[in-house]
Amino acid sequence: MRAEAVAFLAEHGFIGAARQPLPADASFRRYTRLVGGPRPALLMEAPPPQEDLGPYLHIAAHLAAAGLSAPVVLAADARQGFALVEDFGAHTMAQRLDAGAAAAPLYLAATAALARLHAVPPPPGLPAWGVARMAETAAATFLEWWWPESFGEAPSEAVAVAFGTALHAMLAPFAAAGFVHRDFFPANLMPLPGRTPPADVGLLDFQDAALGHPAYDLVSLVEDARRDVDPALREACIEHYLALRPELDADAFRAAMAAQAAQRHLRVACLWVRLARRDGKPHYLRHGPRCWALLGAALAHPATAPLRDFLDRHVPPERRRNPDGLPDGLPHGLKDSAA
């Protein structure tokens, strides 16, 4: 632990707490559970310049005002990238599912929290998660990492232009400017059964929230890149969400889900390649087959026709997988939990 972090803990009365580092994710953030201090807490280290603590603090306040459960910020030093935050406990929704907990109550509670999250006006100052940014991020993984690994060379300029055109054509009909968490899936959700719904779901890793279409978050939950979701439960969650937001047009929302899903699944399937090659994290590749299968399901919807047509011209179905030389499945007996 950096000396600056130790000094931060001392300043706020946690210098004597036992420290339990938590598993790292794909970001630069690090978390340490503090036991034996003034109260249960986590130390979050978001080292600049790779990370910026400001958005986390801003959005945490917004979520609390909306009646949702974000970790209470006990102390923060945004300049150095340190925060002491409320500890929701040791078991995420993902861990409870892996331990055999009934899935339906957890997913339906998460869906209710998501409906509240989307129903309230977003806070000011969020970046855009719109057509341009979604096309850019998809190109950054699909064209810059997956394509060279799969075809042995960079895509031509014509292919890059055609891909961007397809993404814009698919996503433009579903432009929206609501709050989007962007990482709303079980590893970032904490069951809090002692609280009144929808605050009975703790929300984590919301610092990348943006303005976009709410369908993106529901896709993240019920078409999880990291775990299988029973189709009947997926449908129950969609119906529950739509019932909680009767102002939405159901058919239009489902079409938006398909378009958002196609972008997300393609981007994330190719992100695993980048994490493996650039960041030395090949274990993420085990999720590739699921992401490609989810993409295939999304491409069956008419709303995704522009991207489907592009892929049919340039990427035959048998190539829609992890590139050759990279693992293409789950090792036997490995639980498919969030990495």
With CA atoms as reference, report the closest residue to 129 among 170, 173, 178: 178
Which pLDDT band, with edges at 50, 70 and 90, does 26 fall under? low
Domain boundaries, the chain: 3-86, 93-319
Fold observed for domain 93-319: Aminoglycoside 3'-phosphotransferase; Chain: A, domain 2 (3.90.1200)
pLDDT of residue 327: 65
8 A C-beta contact, residue 103 and residue 97: yes
pLDDT of residue 335: 34
pLDDT tens per residue, range 198-208: 999 999 999 99
Strand order of the β-sheet with 82-86 is 18-21, 30-35, 41-45, 82-86, 73-77
pTM for the full predicted model: 0.92
pLDDT of residue 73: 97
pLDDT tens per residue, range 251-267: 999 999 999 999 999 99
Fold observed for domain 3-86: Phosphorylase Kinase; domain 1 (3.30.200)
Rounded CA-CA distance 225/269 in Å is 8
